[in-house]
Structure 1
Amino acid sequence: MCTAITLKSKDQHHFLARNYDFVKGAELRVALAPRRFSYLNKLTNKSIPSKYAVLGMSVSSDGYFIFADGVNEKGLTCAILELPSQNIWADQLIEEKENILPYDVTFWILANFTTVKELKEGLKNLNIVAPLDDQGALATQVHWLVSDATGDSIVIEKTRTSFRAYYNKVGVLTNSPTYDWHLTNLNRYLNVSDKQSNDVKWGNELLKPYSQGFGGLGLPGDYSSSSRFVKASFLRNHINLDVNYEGGILECFRILNSVAMLEGIVQTRSNESFITLYTSCICSNQQIYYYSTYTNPQIYAIDLKKEVLDGNTLKFYSYPDQLIIHHQN
């Protein structure tokens, strides 16, 4: 589960923002991987050095971590989202290609590329591998939203039939089905509008809207991936974007709050509750990572440019999971 959007403010700042929806238990911390940091490619047992410093949210499990989203020092941003029951990964390495585990692709993208255009060329040499004896890799069913400092944005999907990079036409990504299915599904909501409905006459009865907001009748409100895609697309493409940098940040959080999951509302068959563990908003142009957590809605900010980027070890930031209230009297 997850919802991600891209947005541009009137002063030409580009944002990638996302909700991270999952069950409790994951160890989450924002991490900085400097330029000389090397990560272990478990497929080859070789350490691979980073070209660019990366800042983003890390998810740790059994001593291994992945980046759920992030930005590099050149302004390339990326987020990984679930795509259940859609992926077919390679099970064999190809010597002349870049062989990467599916959960390492986010970091591979951010550590090695500067723009979407450059990445699209790099994807031609990518082999995403899930060995038959690696249950974690086999269970990783995902796709990626990538955007750069010019606003260029793509959705990357590897399915049973294709390996594609879609131009991100509506600035939204959720989960299954595939991205092209969601675009087709939007056609069902042609009637939804930000404008108030007109009066109409049925027989001798004059029908009038009895409150504001009738134009939005039919907009879905449940938490399924298709409904979140529709609602986020409508909001993202109808809000007033005549806002500056700070306004762009606020609109990202407001849109994502409208599709955020509250504890107890989305229950799995094993009685676990999906919640929006955190919401992030990344500015490509400033390389600043903004985020809030489920238990602390205050917005925190980490500026990549203020860090020393020439190190070789990871730096982690404390995760703000305690509620902070600003008393005014």
Structure 2
Amino acid sequence: MCTAITLQSQQMENFFGRTMDFSYWIEPQLYVVPKNYVWTNILNNHRFYNYYSFIGIGQESDGALGFFDGVNEKGFAAAALYFADYAQYAMPMIHLGKKPVASLDFLHYILGRCGSIEELNIILQNLSLIGLPDPITQTVAPLHWLATDRSGQCQ
């Protein structure tokens, strides 16, 4: 189980931290992803491009790059958190006209496209998260996410 915390100091400085209590062997690395970077959604090979540059901790496995956490140029930060038995995703072919994004790609998607929690909320209205087995556990990872922005707003 992973945990995360955000807090704001009396000087209005924002802090974001997380643990990664994970029983599988991982080899995380630091990635710097540029603005306008074009990447492919593992769900359907749809191409996306990033509005913002970001740095993130992630891992490449079986040709897919998944992120665990990161922060972008706008001060928007987010983490993917593993929490067994507490995730439900849309079925791969049933996304009711919303843009389907694999749960494993979700962090990359929001770090590259959201500058604030307000923007995240707008994006979430038109997005359908689809669970796919990840290359590390070979299961649909029970993920949830925490995001915060430079104002200290959190979701």
Normalising to structure 2: TM-score of the pair?
Answer: 0.88
- Residue aligned with 1:146, SS: strand
Deviation at 1:70, TM superposition (A): 0.5
Equivalent AA in structure 1 for residue 17 of structure 2: A
Determine if contact 2:102/2:130 at 8 Å carries over to the other structure.
yes
Determine if contact 1:27/1:61 at 8 Å carries over to the other structure.
no
Corresponding position of 2:133: 135
Corresponding position of 1:122: 123
Larger Rg: 1
Count of aligned positions: 151
Determine if contact 1:77/1:147 at 8 Å carries over to the other structure.
yes
Moved >4 Å (runs of 4+): none
Deviation at 1:24, TM superposition (A): 5.6
1:44 matches 2:30: no
Structure 2: distance between partners of 1:62 and 1:39: 15
Structure 2: distance between partners of 1:83 and 1:2: 7
- Residue aligned with 2:104, SS: helix
Alpha-carbon displacement from aligned partner over 1:181-220 (angstroms, at most 9, x marks no partner): xxxxxxxxxxxxxxxxxxxxxxxxxxxxxxxxxxxxxxxx
Alignment of 1:1-329 (within 5 A): 1-23=1-23, 25-91=25-91, 92-94=93-95, 96-130=97-131, 134-136=132-134, 139-154=140-155
Structure 1 residue runs without a partner (length 5+)? 155-329
Corresponding position of 1:251: none
Determine if contact 2:2/2:83 at 8 Å carries over to the other structure.
no
Task: Give me the CA root mean square deviation.
Answer: 1.8
* Cα gap change, 1:38 to 1:19, in 2 (>3 Å): same
Structure 2 residue runs without a partner (length 5+)? none
Tell me the percent identity.
31
- Residue aligned with 2:152, SS: coil
Determine if contact 1:26/1:60 at 8 Å carries over to the other structure.
no
Alpha-carbon displacement from aligned partner over 1:103-162 (angstroms, at most 9, x marks no partner): 1111111111111112112111110113xxx433852111111100000001xxxxxxxx
